[in-house]
């Protein structure tokens, strides 16, 4: 294990914590920290014309990535992008319908559709993403690390087969039961695609990467390992874990995955994201200190009165119990109508409560 830096501050606090090295306080960043709750985001989104256009324009995506770290003393920036860029580059025809979310014009329905898929070249069909990463790194100037990300193979497959978001995942689970070989082939293609995509982000300058397994928690226990955990393990195994001699930590986050934390720790990742439904103390015990933990304030706490919000933040910090290996975050993303002042209060409370001398 290589120390990314001798001084623990905003420039490397996150990287040290993900590697379970001592820090002066738990680093803090928030999922969807660059988003619709910020007025500057909404203004830029209106000017861009569409969310997809904003993601695909490196100048705009860079600006949105930087907005929250300019406003708040966050310990990381996370790339402005979308998990569905990979299937879009496979030719499925991604659109975003206002008020309804993403849709694919050409969803996957059977093994013949799977056979027509290809692994996109991240420096060709997805070139705007590594271009954005390089631009963000230049603009950050070492202020804080940049996190790259992708959806997990299973989560991408759910959207590709359903054609949009779903409440019951009947189409993708129908494929699982009726033609498991076709689903396995789809996940293998997606594992290769996600690996190449994340490696491109690392090559371009991402200092940590995260795999969002948003829908892994919808699977039955015996299916989770085969269709969600194992494809993520294949991705982690294929990643370039060092750049310029410095480790690039990998975070895996399965929403609703509290029951599978020991199995998720076996993917080879450096850290696990924990949602608000699992206590950090329980997660720490279940994983035996093998990985760092990231989380896990209930996002709805950001609507609480200030004193209650501070108490909830303190409860999360106390639940982890001190020591190395904690990244403070929400258990999911910031909601669009949250008051930015509440986000600032959350971050300030983490810093005020948790600062400690280094050994």
Task: Render pLDDT for 245-291 as a digit per residue (tens, 0 to 9).
Answer: 999 999 999 999 999 999 999 999 999 999 999 999 999 999 999 99
169-184 per-position pLDDT tens digit: 999 999 999 999 999 9
Nearest C-alpha neighbor of 188 from the set 153, 236, 213: 153
Average pLDDT over the chain reads: 94
Please check whether residue 210 lies inside any domain of the structure.
yes
Please check whether residue 143 lies inside any domain of the structure.
yes
Catalytic residue numbers, as ranges: 32, 36, 45, 82, 159
Please check whether residue 4 lies inside any domain of the structure.
no
pLDDT at 90: 96
Q: Report the alpha-carbon distance of residue 16 to residue 13 in Å, rounded.
A: 5
Please check whether residue 170 lies inside any domain of the structure.
yes
Instruction: Count other Cβ atoms within 10 Å, centred on residue 22.
Output: 15
Please check whether residue 164 lies inside any domain of the structure.
yes
- Give the tokens for residue 284: 């720490």
187-232 per-position pLDDT tens digit: 999 999 999 999 999 999 999 999 999 999 999 999 999 999 999 9
Whether residue 6 is predicted with pLDDT greater than 50 in this model: the reply is no
- Give the tokens for residue 258: 């509290």
Long-range CB pairs of 93-102 (<8 Å, 24+ gap) are 94/52, 95/52, 96/50, 96/51, 96/52, 100/164, 101/164, 101/165, 102/159, 102/164, 102/165
Please check whether residue 5 lies inside any domain of the structure.
no
Whether residue 18 is predicted with pLDDT greater than 90 in this model: the reply is yes
166 falls in which pLDDT band (50, 70, 90)?
Answer: confident
74 falls in which pLDDT band (50, 70, 90)?
Answer: very high
77-90 per-position pLDDT tens digit: 999 999 999 999 99
pLDDT at 302: 98
75-125 per-position pLDDT tens digit: 999 999 999 999 999 999 998 877 778 899 999 999 999 999 999 999 999
Please check whether residue 37 lies inside any domain of the structure.
yes
pLDDT at 7: 46
Q: Are 68 and 38 in contact (CB under 8 A)?
A: yes
Q: How far lies 31's CA from each of 3, 34, 137, 297, in Å?
A: 25, 8, 19, 11
CATH number at residue 126: 3.20.20.210
Please provide the DSSP assignment of 117-164 as one string. Answer: -----TTTTTTHHHHHHHHHHHHHTTSS-EEEEEE-HHHHHHHHHHSB
4 falls in which pLDDT band (50, 70, 90)?
Answer: low
Please tell me the total count of domains within the chain.
1
State the first-to-last Cα distance of the chain, in angstroms, to the nearest integer: 18
285-322 per-position pLDDT tens digit: 999 999 999 999 999 999 999 999 999 999 999 999 98
Please check whether residue 314 lies inside any domain of the structure.
yes
User: Which range marks the domain in which residue 252 is found?
Assistant: 13-354
pLDDT at 358: 60
């Amino acid at each position: 294990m290589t120390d990314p830096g001798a001084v623990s501050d905003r420039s490397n606090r996150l990287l040290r914590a993900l590697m379970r090295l001592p820090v002066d306080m738990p680093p803090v960043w928030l999922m969807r920290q660059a988003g619709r709750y910020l007025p500057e985001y909404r203004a830029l989104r209106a000017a861009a014309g569409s969310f997809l256009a904003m993601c695909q324009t490196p100048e705009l995506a860079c600006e949105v990535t930087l907005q929250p770290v300019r406003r708040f003393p966050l310990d990381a920036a996370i790339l402005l992008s979308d998990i569905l860029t990979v299937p879009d580059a496979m030719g499925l025809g991604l659109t975003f319908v206002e008020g309804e979310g993403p849709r694919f014009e050409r969803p996957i329905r059977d093994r013949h559709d799977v056979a027509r898929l290809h692994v996109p070249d991240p420096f060709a069909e997805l070139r705007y993403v590594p271009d954005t990463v390089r631009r963000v790194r230049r603009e950050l100037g070492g202020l804080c690390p940049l996190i790259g990300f992708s959806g997990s193979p299973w989560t991408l497959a759910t959207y590709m087969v359903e054609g949009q978001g779903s409440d019951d995942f009947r189409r993708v689970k129908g494929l699982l039961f009726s033609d498991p070989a076709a689903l396995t082939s789809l996940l293998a293609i997606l594992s290769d695609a996600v690996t190449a995509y994340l490696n491109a982000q690392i090559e371009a300058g991402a200092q940590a990467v995260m795999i969002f397994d948003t829908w892994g928690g919808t699977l039955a226990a015996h299916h989770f390992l085969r269709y969600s955990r194992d494809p993520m393990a294949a991705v982690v195994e294929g990643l370039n874990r060092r750049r310029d001699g410095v480790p690039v930590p990998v975070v895996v986050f399965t929403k609703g995955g509290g029951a599978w934390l020991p199995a998720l720790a076996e993917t080879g990742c450096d850290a696990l994201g924990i949602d608000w439904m699992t206590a950090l103390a329980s997660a720490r015990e279940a994983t035996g200190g093998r990985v760092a933990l990231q989380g896990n304030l209930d996002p709805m706490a950001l609507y609480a009165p200030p004193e209650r919000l501070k108490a909830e933040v303190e409860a999360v910090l106390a639940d982890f119990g001190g020591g190395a290996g904690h990244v403070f975050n929400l258990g999911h993303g910031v909601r669009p109508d949250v008051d930015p002042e509440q986000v600032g209060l959350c971050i300030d409370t983490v810093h005020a409560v948790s600062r400690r001398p280094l050994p």
